[in-house]
Structure formats: structure tokens, C-alpha cells
Structure 1
Amino acid sequence: MSCNRTVWWLPAVVFLLTAVVVFPQTRRAGPSGRMAGVPVGGPGGSISFLKQALTEAGAPTLSSAQEEQLDQLISSYRESMFPSSPDENLVTARSAFQESVLSGDLTGAKAAAATLAKLQTAAMQERLEGQAAFMIQAMAILSRDQVNKLVAEFETAGLFELFQRLAGPGMGRRGPGGPGFAPPM
């Protein structure tokens, strides 16, 4: 009896992890291979808030070469991080977990939960590593003066959130905006 009480939370945790990792991967890509509705750049696009932040910080504006490099980086990052189909291993593991729970098989549910958790952990690690690489590359495109002025204006946490926002939906801790940043118009 005590065993059942100690693992009551396990299905909820696995479900939440599944929602974070599997469900975002089920979104469909548009005809260009990009996620439908995800801006890539240009007027009002994904770098407009960066331009605004640079202006607020009194930093030099982006050069056309920097804008082009950022647009290319953002496009390739989003295409690689938002696949057009879900990871079949995660889908299979989630189904096995659900079937075990619904059939009342606690031993099977525990085994399926362990498999699902491993796959979700690996997927999350891959996303975080990709996000880190993207943010480092994006920061390298900016000049030292631009970065220093952004840090002076928004502090390191604000700069981090700025680069998360460049990465696109689902990468930041919050919704649109963040400390010191207005949503794009």
C-alpha cells in the first residue's frame, strides 16, 4: 500500500515532461520547411526587438551584414530545432506508458516511465545544447560595443533573455517580452 502512495505523482510528472518535449515536436512546418507563423526577420520580424533594445541601450545599430547574418542564423536554427514530425521513439514510449497506466500495470508503467524519462532528458539536453550554440553564435555577430551596452542597459539576465527571444518560441522562460523588452509591434 505504501508503494502506491509514494509513486502517485509519477504519471503526472511523466505527462508534464511529455507535454514539454513531445507535443512541441508535433507542430507542422509550413511549405518552406519553417514553422508556420514563425517570423524569420525583416520589418517587424524576429530582430526588430533586438534593434529596439540596441537603440534603448545607446548601442550602434545593426549593420546590414549583421542583420543578414542574424536572419540566416535564426532561419537555420529554427529549421533544425522545430522538426516537421514528432520523434517516433518518444511517441512510442509515451504510448507504452499510457497503455501500462490504463491497464493497471504498475511494473510496466515504471519501466515505460524510465524509458520515457531517458528519451525526454536526451531531447531536452539536445535542445539546450542547440540553444546555447545559437546564442553564442548570435552574440558573436554583435560587436563588443553592442554587447557591452546591452549588458549595461539590461544586465546579463536581460541579455540572456534577449538571445532566447531571438531563438524563437518556446526557448524563453516567459512569453513575449521580458525585463526591459517590449513585444514587437
Structure 2
Amino acid sequence: MLSGFIEALHQRNEVPDIKNITRLCIAKVKKFYGLHVFFLLAVTPTVIVSVVKAPLQAGGRMIINLLLLQSWFPDEQIWLSYNSVTWFISTLAFLFLFIIPMHWISNHLEQKWPTGRFYCGLLVIIWLLDFILAILLLKKNVSNIKYYLYAFPPSRLFDYASGFILGRFFICHKNMRLVKKRQHFWKSSL
């Protein structure tokens, strides 16, 4: 949620096409990819036993981690392998795909409803969808529900979008307060 909130504080006006989305995703991943590789290599000695016991599987997990794809595999031996917290970076790389479309949609909605009150309704819808997803997974008795509700990139889109919506609501509310202060100032100075 925090990543979505912070992203909402940026003002982006790019058209949501493949070229712009790809450019933004690459630029964002470049910012942390060097550190990701450094720490991935730094933790390799801590998994030396698994590398010796099963070098092909360990090598496969290493490649998956290098490509930031680990959060797409429900097996804990993969998505929590090596530097285990990087599953979030893998998921975040997926969420970057939605930055430009979310800004574009928000910009258009805010032109129609500048107060941003519609964001409350969007939050309720997103939270209901997230709740329904959890119920469906529980009903199906999914064995790895922790993965599907915690690390699976599409399910994290609900959290990211919630943070983004809260951030945009914050901006709308802040802008409305500034407009009201200016109106009050001009009325009192006349």
C-alpha cells in the first residue's frame, strides 16, 4: 500500500501505451536492479548446502531470482529462495505496469469530480474484491493460501491500488483545502 501511496504523489501525464509503460518499468527497475544483484550474490554463500545438494535446482532458482520472476512461483523453495525478501521486488516490478494507466484514469476522473470523493467508493470496491478473492481461495481449500494472498503479484494489485487511491484522495483533499483557503483570503481582503 505504501508503494502505491507514494506513487500517487507523483504527477504523471503519459499516455498509457506499451512504449510509455515499458520505458517507465525499465527506468524504475534500473534504479534498484544493481543492488538486487549485489545482495543476491552476497547471500549465495548462505545457501551453499542447497547448491551442493541440488545444483540444477539452485541454479534455476538463481536465474529466476535474477530475472525477478520468483513471486510468480507458488513454491516457497522458489519465491523465498536466496534473498527471500526480494519476492516483493519481483511483485513490485509487475505492479509498475499499472502506474501509467492508474494515473491516466485518475487524471480523467478528477477532471469530472475534482473533490475526489469517488475514491472512497473505489476503495470499498477494491477491498470487497480482495475479500472475495480470500473467500474463494479458502473455499477451494488452496494449499498455499499464504502465497496467493501475500506474494502473488495480481493479488497484490489490490493493495497497491488501495494505496494509490488513498494517495490520490490525499492530493485531492489537499488541493481542495488550498482552493478554499485562497477563496477565503480573497473574500476577506475585498
Fold equivalence (TM over 0.5): no
Higher relative contact order, chain-length normalized (CA < 8 Å, sep 6+): 2
Q: Which has the higher helix share?
A: 2
